[in-house]
């Protein structure tokens, strides 16, 4: 087994180098983006009172929702809202850029909605949000994605009183 | 994911993400992230390992309340029990 050891202080250069490699493997469609300004919002209330939502770019969707289109070179930029009471057996993962065999077997590996409900029942968090968010992680033009995805997510989160969002990706 | 996370944070929500690729997460720059030394695709660990999955989720929640400021990347202490699948190249942090 081969291990790579990276110096995190050099992450900015390595992050750019990843993009160069992705352009070789995926073509010039890959746009280089990073957060020049990183935001920081303190949580609005204590954990035991907070409403928590999940967001995953691991390609989760309901069995009854359309799968993400993995054939589109520009990526499928649509969102899937997942209701909080969704049983794990109703979740599917469509994503060609990582091995989602573990998530297929147990969605909590990527999208821990069952655990979030358990944390609510145990009083660890205030409540699991009414809606959670699925997206495809293959987004080579992220600014285009953000322009429509962020307003849609923010509108839903505000309407449903979300305080905290936890993100996972593929 | 890091770009989306920052945009959601900027809109007024506190966020934390789980990453298996700390170089990408650190290079992109995010408000708060927990680094887990797991293969891509299983940020909460192995299937049916409920105890590990819930411990990681709890750690991620605590990170939301305890991170001192933006660009916090915390290394979580969990190990993949079965060994890494073939073909996976883990990215280790400096010692």
CA of A117, closest CA in chain B: separation in Å? 11
CA of A160, closest CA in chain B: separation in Å? 12
| pLDDT per position as a tens digit, B22-57 | 888 999 999 999 999 998 899 999 998 888 899 999
Contact assignment for A164 to B54 by CB distance below 8 Å:
no
CA dihedral sign of residues A123, B14, A115, B81 = negative
Task: Give residue B70's pLDDT.
Answer: 94
Contact assignment for B27 to A100 by CB distance below 8 Å:
no
- Please state the ipTM of this predicted complex: 0.91
CA A52, CA A113: separation in Å to the nearest integer?
10
Contact assignment for A41 to B30 by CB distance below 8 Å:
no
Task: Give residue A88's pLDDT.
Answer: 95
Contact assignment for B92 to A6 by CB distance below 8 Å:
yes
Query: Which one of A57, A88, A102 would you mutate to disrupt binding with B, by most B Cβ within 10 Å of its Cβ?
Result: A102
CA B78, CA B51: separation in Å to the nearest integer?
11
Name the least confident of A136-140, A160-164, B24-28: A136-140
Stretch A71-86: mean pLDDT? 93
The rounded radius of gyration (Å) of the Cα atoms in chain A is 17
Residues 40-69 of B with CB under 8 A from A: 40-48, 50, 53-54, 57-58, 60-62, 64-65, 69
- Residue B95 — very low, low, confident or very high, per pLDDT cuts 50/70/90? very low
Query: Which one of A19, A35, A143 would you mutate to disrupt binding with B, by most B Cβ within 10 Å of its Cβ?
Result: A35
| pLDDT per position as a tens digit, A7-42 | 566 888 888 888 888 888 878 878 888 999 999 999
User: How many CB atoms within 10 Å of residue A148?
Assistant: 12
Nearest CA in chain B to A155: B11
Average per-residue pLDDT for chain A: 90
The answer to whether residue A20 neighbours chain B at the CB level (below 8 Å) is no
Task: Give residue A9's pLDDT.
Answer: 66
Our CA dihedral for A18, B43, B29, A55, rounded to 10 degrees, sits at 120
With a cut of 70, say whether residue B90 has pLDDT above it. Answer: no
CB A153 within 8 A of CB B89: no
Q: Which of A47-51, A67-71, B69-73, B91-95 holds the top average pLDDT?
A: A47-51
CA A32, CA A109: separation in Å to the nearest integer?
28
Task: Give residue B91's pLDDT.
Answer: 36
Residue B43, class by beta-carbon neighbours within 10 Å (0-12 exposed, 13-18 middle, 19+ buried)? buried
Q: Percent of chain B having pLDDT more than 70?
A: 83
- Residue A83 — very low, low, confident or very high, per pLDDT cuts 50/70/90? very high
pTM of the model: 0.89
């Amino acid at each position: 087994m081969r291990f790579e050891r990276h110096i995190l202080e050099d992450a900015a250069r390595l992050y750019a180098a990843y993009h160069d490699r992705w352009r070789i493997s995926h073509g010039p469609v890959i746009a280089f983006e990073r957060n020049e300004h990183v935001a920081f919002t303190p949580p609005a209330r204590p954990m035991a009172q907070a409403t928590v939502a999940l967001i995953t770019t691991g390609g989760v969707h309901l069995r009854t929702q359309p799968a993400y289109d993995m054939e589109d070179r520009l990526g499928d930029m649509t969102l899937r809202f997942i209701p909080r009471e969704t049983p794990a057996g109703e979740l599917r993962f469509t994503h060609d850029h990582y091995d989602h065999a573990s998530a297929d077997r147990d969605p909590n590996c990527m999208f821990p909605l069952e655990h979030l409900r358990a944390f609510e029942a145990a009083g660890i968090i205030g409540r699991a949000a009414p809606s959670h968010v699925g997206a495809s992680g293959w987004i080579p033009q992220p600014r285009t994605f953000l322009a429509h995805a962020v307003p849609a997510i923010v509108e839903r989160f505000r309407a449903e009183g979300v305080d905290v969002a936890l993100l996972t990706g593929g | 994911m890091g770009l989306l996370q920052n945009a959601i944070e900027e809109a007024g929500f506190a966020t934390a993400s789980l990453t298996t690729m700390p170089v990408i997460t650190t290079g992109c720059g995010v408000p708060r992230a927990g680094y887990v030394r797991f293969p891509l695709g299983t940020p909460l660990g192995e299937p049916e390992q409920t105890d590990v999955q819930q411990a990681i989720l709890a750690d991620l929640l605590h990170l939301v309340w305890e991170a001192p400021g933006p660009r916090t990347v915390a290394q979580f202490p969990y190990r993949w029990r079965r060994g890494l699948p073939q073909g996976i190249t883990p990215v280790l942090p400096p010692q």
